[in-house]
């Protein structure tokens, strides 16, 4: 029971608007205490295009940022495409400060990402 109460993140997996697209909607602060579920879910997904919707993520720590970089690396190695969408200003600033904004693939919205990642 204790693991459930400390796990503040919720991850929903759903199909995108076209075949081959998978959307992971993440809700809640993504931190070292709970990013393992996100990491497991993103690693198990084999869709040609993975879109990670961060609209519901107000905060992320460096461990969670590392898991996003892991998504980037694994997608590159497997020849898959991915994008982070609906990234709040606080996370955008974190990406800037840590120097990964040029590495991570981001789009303002899910429809823009789906249109760009054909």
Q: Give the tens place of pLDDT for each residue, 33-42.
A: 998 999 999 9
**Total-model pTM:** 0.91
How large is the average pLDDT for residues 30-34?
93
Q: Is it true that domain 2-113 has CATH number 3.40.50.2000?
A: no
Cα–Cα distance list, 54 to 45, 60, 73, 79 (Å): 17, 10, 19, 23
Packing angle of the helix pair 35-44, 62-78 (nearest 10 deg): 10
Domain ranges of the chain: 2-113
The pLDDT of residue 3 is 36
Residue pLDDT, tens place only, 42-96:
989 999 999 999 999 999 999 999 999 999 999 999 999 999 999 999 999 999 9
Is the per-residue pLDDT at 1 higher than 70?
A: no
Buried residues in 41-70 as b, exposed as e (16+ CB within 10 A): bbeebebebbbbbbebbeebeeebbebbee
The pLDDT of residue 77 is 95
């Amino acid at each position: 029971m204790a693991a459930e109460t400390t796990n503040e993140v919720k991850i929903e997996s759903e199909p995108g608007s076209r075949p081959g697209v998978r959307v992971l909607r993440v809700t809640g602060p993504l931190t070292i205490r709970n990013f393992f579920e996100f990491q497991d879910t993103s690693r198990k997904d084999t869709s040609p295009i993975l879109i990670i919707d961060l609209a519901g993520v107000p905060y992320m720590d460096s461990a969670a940022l590392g898991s996003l970089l892991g998504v980037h690396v694994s997608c590159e190695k497997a020849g898959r495409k991915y994008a982070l969408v609906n990234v709040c200003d606080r996370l955008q600033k974190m990406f800037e400060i840590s120097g990964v904004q040029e590495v991570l693939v981001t789009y303002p919205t899910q429809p823009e990402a789906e249109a760009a990642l054909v």
